[in-house]
Amino acid sequence: MKKQMKKIAAFVLALAVALPAGAVRTMAEEEDVVIHVPEFAPAVYGYEQPDAVEMRIENTRDTNITVSDVRFEGDTSAFYFQEPSSKFLPYRAQSTPGTIQPVAGLGAGTYTATIIVAYEETSVSKEIIFTVNKAPTPEIVWPEASDIIYTQKLADSVLSGGSTELGSFAWTDGEMIPAAGKNSYSVTFTPNAEISANYEPVPTVRKISVTADKAALGGPVTIMGDAYAGQPLTAETSLLTSEPEIS
């Protein structure tokens, strides 16, 4: 009994040693077929397209095998796949190589496809994974605000310049009426779809200074209605840049 257990343990160990790196083992693969494909290293959005790698099918048994079908399923649009030109697998040998390569320009995310090799009413499979990580947060250049007249809303101040190719800018509370003089108020940046999906989070709020000038009066102020000798007359001038001439 002990001798039999030792033989079984030795057989299992031999199978483990014989399995090539990167191969996926199933019950069928232990005796018949192994798919060999190197792993793709993760990339960062905006990556340079990785080189194509070879995909081979290995016949591990002592008799020939004819593959009936090779299928590629899953995120197939994320890869270029060319199956081996020959489906005949001599015993203890590998197939002619096929190739697999991630396409260029993929957005951030994980793309998974599966190679399925069918033969003799069974099949084996190998999963292919390519990960595109988000790019670092881009530098945001914030816009400048045009001057307005006191009593106008923030929305009347035009935001110009800035990283408009990355998104849009707007006053956080455009209905607010700024105090007279130069003050700072919140502007909200809304990243576009590409930036949101493919870059690390960007700052979305920052205060920008805006000047609300007092109104300038170009002519005299005329007091309408009756006025009597000795009656004091008043006019609101706090919002004006200079004292008006009153008649």
Below-70 pLDDT ranges, the chain: 1-31, 215-247
**pLDDT the model gives residue 175:** 96
Bridge partner list, 112: 129
Residues 167 and 188: their CA atoms lie apart, in Å, by: 10
**pLDDT the model gives residue 225:** 57
**pLDDT the model gives residue 231:** 61
Domains in the chain with CATH codes: 22-133 (2.60.40.10), 144-213 (no CATH), 216-247 (no CATH)
Q: Please, which residues have CB within 8 angstroms of residue 166's CB and are 6 or more apart in sequence?
A: 138, 140, 191, 192, 195, 202
**pLDDT the model gives residue 214:** 84
pLDDT tens for each residue of 138-163: 999 999 999 999 999 999 999 999 99
Q: What is the pTM of this model?
A: 0.71
Bridge partner list, 215: 240
